[in-house]
Amino acid sequence: MNDKTLQFFDTTGFQQDLIDWYHANKRDLPWRMDQDPYKVWVSEIMLQQTKVDTVIPYFYRFMEKFPTVYQLADADPQDVLKVWEGLGYYSRARNLQNAVQEVVDTYGGEIPANPDELGSLKGIGPYTKGAILSIAYNQPEPAVDGNVMRVLSRILKIEDDIAQQRTKKLVEAYVRELIPEDDPSSFNQAIMELGALVCTPKSPACLLCPVQEYCLAFAEGRENDLPVKSKAKKQNKIPYVSLLIKNENSAYIIEKRAEKGLLAGLWQFPMVPINEIGWDHLENWILSEYGLEIKVSEKKGELKHVFSHIVWELEIYGATTHQQYLTDERLRFVYKEELQAYPFPVSHQKMMTYIV
């Protein structure tokens, strides 16, 4: 790809063939029923790092519970986390609610169509901003994520590393030139859909591709070499002992995570960073950390929780305490039947299966 490529590129033919294919082949996704900016926004936030099939039931539940910005703005944050439970990347849910509160307070409940105002809302980065502006408000704005980068790297034979920020800027600049003024909504969705259904990461279906005749990578048989992407850093593994601590009344101890950082505001069973503490000091550490006297019993199982940059390796142990009252305000006693009322990360939900 060089600066002259678009000079010889049949932009009009490409737009037309891509958009025609999109209208004939697009999937019936619930957030595509209309161009409601709130639905576009919620769906785009849910779809970050998450597959479409996983998102669909979450999207329905979310819309049922919080059908407009007003219901979401007024909701208890723990209820929002509960509906998001299992979807991961929970800061998305918190940022969404904070941003929606700003929409209600500052913009009278209307999601701004002004790029600067929209982009200043919490959790709305350049991609989400472009998606809302183009899909809901028909503005010719690029919405470039990894999926779109892959497709355009191939079509325009861009050989720069897509992990680099400047490559993203380059692709955005190309989209600005390619996007049609009269139907930016269909164009951006069509590129996304092409990446999901045809120009997939491995083995793109070039023979079925509606824009094959425009694709510079295909013309040179290079579709499997692109995009170029430098390797991500290796995930850091952190071992924890996670404790199912119960008292004589069979009430279990759960802990609320801090309001900031990883899995903020969610609940979990207490976790001991065992490499730092050491097995010999486990019970003492619980006493000094939580003011809680416990006796560790049998091992119940092992689980992993994979985040984008780290992996928790969890060994699950049972434990007992004689205490009936808790002094640490992060902790709470709950009975087995009450656990479902609290939002937990997936690994800790799975831990509940060890409670008989």
Q: List residues near ligand SF4 by CB under 6 A.
A: 151, 154-155, 198-199, 204-206, 209, 211-212, 215, 217-218, 223
Q: Least CB distance from residue 223 to ligand SF4, whole Å?
A: 4
H, E, C per residue of the chain: CCCCHHHHCCHHHHHHHHHHHHHHHCCCCHHHCCCCHHHHHHHHHHHCCCCHHHHHHHHHHHHHHCCCHHHHHHCCHHHHHHHHCCCCCCHHHHHHHHHHHHHHHHHCCCCCCCHHHHHCCCCCCHHHHHHHHHHHCCCCCCCCCHHHHHHHHHHCCCCCECCCHHHHHHHHHHHHHHCCCCCHHHHHHHHHHHHHHCCCCCCCCHHHCCCHHHCHHHHCCCCCCCCECCCCCCCEEEEEEEEEEECCCCCEEEEECCCCCCCCCCEECCEECHHHHCHHHHHHHHHHHHCCCCEEEEEEEEEEEECCCEEEEEEEEEEECCCCCCCCCCEEEECHHHHHHCCCCHHHHHHHHHCC
Residue with smaller CB distance to ligand SF4, 184 or 210: 210
Q: Least CB distance from residue 198 to ligand SF4, whole Å?
A: 5
44 among known catalytic residues: yes
Residue with smaller CB distance to ligand SF4, 43 or 153: 153
Q: Least CB distance from residue 204 to ligand SF4, whole Å?
A: 4
Q: Least CB distance from residue 164 to ligand SF4, whole Å?
A: 21
Residue with smaller CB distance to ligand SF4, 145 or 223: 223
Residue with smaller CB distance to ligand SF4, 80 or 151: 151
Please identify every residue annotated as catalytic.
44
